[in-house]
Amino acid sequence: MSPIAHFIGSWLAASVTTDNPRDRKLVTLAGVLPDADGLGVVVDVVGSMISGKENTFHYYQQYHHLLLHGWPGAIVVSILLVCFAERRRPVLLGCLLTFHLHLLCDLVGSRGPTAGDLWPICYSEPLFRHPIWFWKGQWKLDGWQNQLVFIVIFGAALWLATKKGFSFAEIFSRRLDTIFVGTLQKWRASIFAGKGSR
């Protein structure tokens, strides 16, 4: 699943498992951070530009889905994030939940362009090679199923924002969030006012 879908889905889970902005941010981060193991792609691109050699995506292939897509990564990331929490127990549980939600979403929907291009989840990496899980029916990363899931969770996140008075924009800036939610609430009010006057 795409990083933005992980972000929105994790924020949704965070907004129902925590009760303050700081903890929501931490639980949301836990659902996005697994993909930090794909940042080797930056080293690959920069290295290839400097050397002039063809990019083989060595670091990306070597570490993506292996460093932070298993239980060792879940424990390290969750414990690190809990250090900054206001309420530690819900944040620990929330982080473990969103981290594993990320793994589940990748297992279901992170296939490459060809039918055999499956991304497995190596749940004990980088400590142990096994178990290795994969699903033969894995959806293509940019397939319609992933797009549909994104539309549903994005819609749910906007709806929740108008109800609760805060949105996923709070992860970046409280000010931006206030403006964004205010606009959403105005739209919602005008839609319902329009229906009521008919």
The nearest distance, CB 120 to Zn ion, in angstroms, is: 12
Q: Which stretch binds Zn ion (CB under 5 A): 27-35, 54-62, 73-81, 148-156?
A: 27-35
CA distance 40 to 63: 7
Min separation Cβ 37 and Zn ion, Å: 8
Whether the link from the prior residue into 72 is cis, omega within 30° of 0, is no
| 44 scored as a contact of Zn ion (CB under 5 A) | no
Would you state the structure tokens that stand for residue 100, as one six-digit string? Answer: 């594993």
Which among 10-18, 23-31, 102-110, 150-158 is the span making contact with Zn ion, rule CB under 5 A?
A: 102-110
Among 23, 106, 170, 177, binds Zn ion (CB under 5 A): 106
Interaction between residue 125 and Zn ion (CB under 5 A): no
Query: Considering beta carbons, is residue 132 or 176 the nearer one to Zn ion?
Result: 132
Q: Let me know if 93 is exposed, middle or buried by CB neighbors in 10 A (0-12, 13-18, 19+).
A: middle
CA distance 159 to 16: 13
Length of the chain: 198
Tell me whether residue 34 or residue 90 sits nearer to Zn ion (CB atom).
34
Q: Is 37 in the site for Zn ion (CB under 5 A)?
A: no
Give DSSP secondary structure letters for 95-130: HHHHHHHHHHHHHHH-B-SSTT----EETTTTT-S-
Nearest distance from C-beta of residue 106 to Zn ion, angstroms: 4
Member of 10, 11, 12, 35 binding Zn ion (CB under 5 A): 35
Binding region for Zn ion (CB under 5 A): 34-35, 106
